[in-house]
Amino acid sequence: MTRGDILKFAVAFALRRARKIVGGLKEGLNEDERFAVADHVISQLKERGDPWRLSDEAKPGSGPTT
């Protein structure tokens, strides 16, 4: 799992409550839509030189904590 994969899952999880943030959104995003947005976020970050090293393999235990 890459650093980008971890970020993608975190973004997709955060978008579960997008309806509360986006005023004109009448329904929440479904899972496919959330992951499409998250994929787009990662691709946009990679296009900017990837100083976050999103393609690097993530270190074990470096994922999000609850």
Judge whether 30 lies within some domain: yes
Q: Report the pLDDT value the prediction gives residue 52, as an integer from 0 to 100.
A: 81
Domain that holds residue 15: 3-47
Q: Report the pLDDT value the prediction gives residue 7, as an integer from 0 to 100.
A: 92
Please give the distance of CA 22 from its chain centroid, rounded to a whole number: 17
Q: Report the pLDDT value the prediction gives residue 66, as an integer from 0 to 100.
A: 52
pLDDT in tens, the chain (66 residues): 899 999 999 999 988 877 766 667 777 788 998 899 999 999 988 888 888 888 899 888 655 565
Q: Report the pLDDT value the prediction gives residue 35, as an integer from 0 to 100.
A: 92
Q: Report the pLDDT value the prediction gives residue 5, as an integer from 0 to 100.
A: 92
Judge whether 60 lies within some domain: no
* Number of domains forming the structure of the chain: 1
